[in-house]
Amino acid sequence: MIDDPAAETGQNPASGYDPHASSLQGEADPAVLEELYAIRGSIDNFDATLVYLLAERFKCTQRVGRLKAEHSLPPSDPGREAAQIKRLRTLAEDAELDPAFAEKFLNFIVSEVIQHHRAIAADRS
């Protein structure tokens, strides 16, 4: 017997997130919905992991930004960025992920990092 009604429904009262939120209730067989919820639970775990990994990555890039600012280095490093794109496209192919998607994702991250580096440099000026 579960004493916490939120745990019984899968809701996290701290965040208000309901992992069973769906527009499909009443449209799909309950057994199908349960399988869908189970798969989505895995997706939710991956999403949480991605958020924490990105946070750690950005902590490192902040350190890079401070180092670059201290030594008057430019916020962008096109040679590094090109090498990273090539590397991520290869990793994506190996992982059976669309390399174009991986490149777009990295380009988005790199553009954010460059903005952070510019801000750090401006703060030091």
- At 59, is the pLDDT very low, low, confident or very high (cuts 50, 70, 90)? very high
Q: Could you tell me the pTM of the whole model? A: 0.78
What's the per-residue H, E or C state across the chain?
A: CCCCHHHHHCCECCCCECCCCCCCCCCCCHHHHHHHHHHHHHHHHHHHHHHHHHHHHHHHHHHHHHHHHHCCCCCCCHHHHHHHHHHHHHHHHHCCCCHHHHHHHHHHHHHHHHHHHHHHHHHHC
83 vs 29, more confident? 83
Per-residue pLDDT of 12-48, as tens digits, reads 556 789 998 888 888 889 899 999 999 999 999 999 9
pLDDT at 9 (0 to 100) = 44
